[in-house]
Structure 1
Amino acid sequence: MVSEQLEIERKFDVDAAFVPPPLDGVPGVAAVDPPVTHELAAVYHDTADLRLVRGRVTLRRRTGGPDEGWHLKLPAGTARRELHLPLDRGLGTAPPELLEMVADLLQGERPAPVVVLRTRRVVTALRDASGRVLAELADDTVTATVAAGGQDEAPEVRSWREVEVELVDGDEPLLSAVGDALVAAGAQPSPRASKVAFALSSRLGGAG
């Protein structure tokens, strides 16, 4: 059965020397959990002409972390709808329940793996005075391997670091306040729509 959530987050570009600032002084944040590290591996599926990513849609199978499984992300204004199915719904082929959601974009094409993202994610939960998780800060070090476009081409590999803040039970003012703290510490708001779009930017004409 497909589960769904609304993803509201902000991304920031950071360099290797960036140190996340203390966030227990952000209004509404009473406690900050110790960081937890996850090793994630995600295989993104798309058509040869990348029509899903061009439509701001991502389809992946990810292992590692508490939400491993198949994920389909769809645009929803400034947020994104995230649909989720367990790993066993498909190995090399995306589950039909998710493909039906993007049938208009696919137009009969069958998506296949186009890029693999391996991410070392360090997650910190921000809580209010009652212990409720308001948001999560994810510090991601990413290596993307883009499948070769032709028989004589080598895979393209690129690496970068970014920080994401995603709301859990918090509100937009909290998201803005955490973002301000990150910028004050040296982070820069990211123009990227998604990790996979950035990884594929050379095939997307520089967009990402």
Structure 2
Amino acid sequence: MPNHSQIEIERKYDVDDSAVPPRLVGAGAVAIESDPATAELVAVYIDTADLALARDRIAVRVRHGGGDEGWHVKLPGDEGRTELHWPLGAGDSDDPPAELLATLRDRIGDARLQPIARVTNLRTTVILQDAAGFAVAELCDDHVASENLSTGGVRQWREWEVELLGGAPDTREGRTVLLDEIEQRLLDAGAVVSASSSKLARALGL
């Protein structure tokens, strides 16, 4: 079993280097913004040689840095994605946990997993809270550099990512309204809805 799992509901936006994140107090239930916190996140993604997982919109990575470093498996879902998490192994080993591999076996059979992309992200995060202090969402300002480990291709970009947190509305309609109100402020600040579904897809040119 994974260390924990969660439903990841997020939206991504492309921005240029001159864009300034807007104030989001007043968007939906947002009443408080935390001070920004910055961390460097380095993730290596693995897949089969023919990218069987990526083609099924599944991402497997080991991430170092930040509050959720460790192994992650992201699975597509009806609303958002299901994210499974395992801690780093002894000595920060980059060998996938056996339980993680077991969750993928029906999809990949005996195929070997190998590194396919490295993504380095300088992330600045602001936590958005309601009036009672519950965290409803976070706004991440990401400066990203990626390397396709198969082709050697490199990419750099900046994106804003809004992800709902535990204090978000408990209905799908409520979550959509909150995300829509935040989105409008981001668009007004110069953001454009990202055409890419994930950092991995962008790194691979998918």
TM-score (norm 2): 0.91
Q: Is the 8 A contact 1:93 1:112 kept in 2?
A: no
Distance 1:176 1:186 in 2: 15
Name 1:189's counterpart in structure 2.
193
Distance 2:184 2:110 in 1: 44
Name 1:177's counterpart in structure 2.
181
Deviation at 1:191, TM superposition (A): 2.0
Distance 1:142 1:69 in 2: 19
Distance 2:97 2:112 in 1: 11
Identity within the alignment, %: 45
1:41 match: secondary structure: strand
Distance 1:118 1:102 in 2: 25
Q: Is the 8 A contact 1:20 1:185 kept in 2?
A: yes
Larger mean CA deviation between 130-139 and 84-93 belongs to 84-93
Aligned to 1:114, which of 113, 116, 126?
116
Name 1:152's counterpart in structure 2.
none
Residue 144 (structure 1) aligned with residue 146 (structure 2): yes
Deviation at 1:40, TM superposition (A): 0.4
For residues 153-174 of structure 1, give each alpha carbon's deviation from its aligned partner in whole angstroms, at most 9, with x where no partner exists. Answer: xx22111111110000213121
Distance 1:71 1:6 in 2: 12
Distance 1:19 1:197 in 2: 25
Q: CA RMSD of the aligned region, Å?
A: 1.3
Kindly report structure 1 stretches of 4+ aligned residues shifted beyond 2 Å.
89-93
Paired amino acid for 2:94: G
1:38 match: secondary structure: strand
Name 2:155's counterpart in structure 1.
158
Q: Is the 8 A contact 2:42 2:63 kept in 1?
A: yes
Q: Is the 8 A contact 1:74 1:81 kept in 2?
A: yes
Q: Is the 8 A contact 2:89 2:95 kept in 1?
A: no
Structure 2 unaligned regions, length at least 5: 170-174
Deviation at 1:25, TM superposition (A): 2.5
Deviation at 1:136, TM superposition (A): 0.4
Distance 2:61 2:71 in 1: 6
Distance 1:143 1:88 in 2: 25
Name 2:48's counterpart in structure 1.
47
Larger mean CA deviation between 103-112 and 37-46 belongs to 103-112
Aligned to 1:199, which of 197, 203, 206?
203
Q: Is the 8 A contact 2:33 2:129 kept in 1?
A: yes
Paired amino acid for 1:200: L
